Amino acid sequence: MVIALRRGLLVLAVAALAAGGALAQPPKFDVHAPIDPSRGDALSNPTYHGPEVLKFIGVKPGWKVADIFPGRFTTAIAQAVGPKGKVYGFMPDEIIKVHPGIADLKAARAKDAAWANVTPLASPMNDMALPDGLDAVFIRQNYHDLHVRFMGPADVPAFNRKVFAALKPGGVFVIIDHVAPAGMDVTTASNRFHRIDPETVKAEVEAAGFKFDGESKVLADPTDDHTKMVLETSILGKTDQFLFRFRKPK
């Protein structure tokens, strides 16, 4: 989710007007929501279901975890792994470019004692280099961004292979993202709606050698009909999300 989507948001608004007639009101969007500090994090905002997600990941003290696109869960993960654990927060350069506010967030986090065991990493997406021997890799609401145009798009097969290589045998790759309509092509789903078909994710991740290891419905919302762009204010924070865990075979 990025501010660079304004052009896409305009297209959606025009489409809404065309579909609803002259009196129709275009949808409203909150393009700042992804980095809005008032939305809290997994420790302060119960809608993120932080304890349930951490339990699903299986985080333990002493673990080494990579948080891709670090944000709402990073502090919670850092707390869970404890002082003997380590969190690597990888933020792609492409995201920093379109979200200038991240620079200020990074500066503040560098002084935050809660991030003392978090090591920031940054590079172009396709140059991502994760440390070896990780227990878990986590990505929340941004896997679909790998397919978005502003990311290049990213080399998704290479990304998944890098995650696989960085994990120790038995390590887990956990993904949260917004559900797209079943069968919707990934280009439309990711660029227009910032969603992705869960089956697309399964196919892409398993192609790298992972085994599907389970899912949780804790973030599911049956009232979301999957037809709205996730930054529309009418659906913001109320999307249907999947929570998948993949495991690297031992």
Quick one: pLDDT at residue 250?
Answer: 93
Reduced 3-state DSSP string for 61-96: CCCEEEEECCCCCHHHHHHHHCCCCEEEEEEEHHHH
Pairing of strands 86-92, 64-68: parallel
Lay out the sheet containing 134-140: strands in order across: 118-123, 86-92, 64-68, 134-140, 167-178, 241-247, 211-216
CA distance linking residue 8 with residue 116, whole number of Å: 38
What is the maximum span of the chain, computed from C-alpha positions, in angstroms? Answer: 61
Tokens, residue 5: 């989507």
CA distance linking residue 65 with residue 170, whole number of Å: 13
Q: For the chain, how many helices (H) and strands (E)?
A: 8, 7
DSSP letters of 29-68?
A: B-TTGGG-GGG--TTT-GGG-HHHHHHHHT--TT-EEEEE
Tokens, residue 196: 């992705």
Quick one: pLDDT at residue 100?
Answer: 77
How high is the mean pLDDT in each 10-residue block of the chain (250 residues)? 45 46 66 82 96 98 97 96 97 87 78 92 96 98 96 94 98 98 96 97 98 98 96 95 98
Quick one: pLDDT at residue 24?
Answer: 56
Tokens, residue 221: 């919302």
pTM of the model: 0.88
CA distance linking residue 114 with residue 111, whole number of Å: 9
Please give the DSSP secondary-structure letter assigned to residue 191. I
Tokens, residue 236: 């913001």
